[in-house]
Structure 1
């Protein structure tokens, strides 16, 4: 039982970040409407496109992890936004809040001892909650790193 608790705690730390790099909230703090939609020469995406991809994908993983009636979106069209910038501040804040809220919901699934980390989902092809939690951490870490690089290129920091 102690190993299960330790594993859940480590998964939460992995998903939240803050060990090898700053937390998601710290990395995304202060993103402005202007910054989100600026293009960097030679790169195929804006910060906004990365944020929306993160939001959509994280929500998709959460949905898969808790919904036996899950329907898989179309790859890559549903996962990558066409628009390069948010329409307004409200849209930007909605995406940033959704990233935080969905991450906390995924963490809640992992923290609940009633959810077996190793039991394959009936509606999947062998995926487990453990796998999906690690997928959230890996995917978010990868794209948050891209956001950090873009912010440095845009702002000289």
Structure 2
């Protein structure tokens, strides 16, 4: 029988990996036409590209904070959101998504091996549990926005 810590770990890992009650980033981006990555429908302040990059930057920041006492976070909000509405190339788009996956895998491994409850030594009371939940929540929120943008663009097939 699993103890409470094992149950929590399992739930956090499922939440980080998406699915269950939330769509995954891959699902939200599946079959997205390249010409829609930079569209900002109905006066919305961001494009799908800007949301993807924001997910990448924020997740990277939370991961690095969790493991590196010398990490310097980007300046909020300017350095968490790209100015460009679309990626400059297919390679940049692919690299952003690849980095999201790489950083998520690293966070998952950190969660599996770290003490979820211990305060991060260089923080102000944050724990690995808090950072993992924040990454999962933040990503799920913006994945939902990507899906809404796709619906508004007529490019969503549930």
Q: TM-score range by the shorter chain?
A: over 0.9
Question: Structure 2: where are the runs of 5+ without partners?
Answer: none
8 Å contact 1:33–1:86 — kept in the other structure? Answer: no
The alignment partner of 1:78 has SS state of: helix
The alignment partner of 1:19 has SS state of: coil
CA distance in 2, matches of 1:69, 1:140: 24
**Partner residue of 2:61?**
60
CA distance in 2, matches of 1:81, 1:23: 22
The alignment partner of 2:56 has SS state of: helix
Question: Structure 1: where are the runs of 5+ without partners?
Answer: none
Query: What TM-score do the two structures reach when normalised by structure 1?
Result: 0.93
Which structure 2 residues correspond to residues 64-103 of structure 1 after superposition, within 5 A?
64-103=65-104
CA distance in 2, matches of 1:156, 1:88: 21
Query: What TM-score do the two structures reach when normalised by structure 2?
Result: 0.92
Alpha-carbon offset, residue 156 of structure 1: 4.7
Closer/same/farther in 2, CA of residues 32 and 90 from structure 1, 3 Å limit = farther
Matched, 1:122 2:121: yes
CA distance in 1, matches of 2:69, 2:122: 6
CA distance in 1, matches of 2:58, 2:84: 16
Aligned residues: 155
Alpha-carbon offset, residue 129 of structure 1: 0.1
**Partner residue of 1:36?**
37
**Partner residue of 1:106?**
107
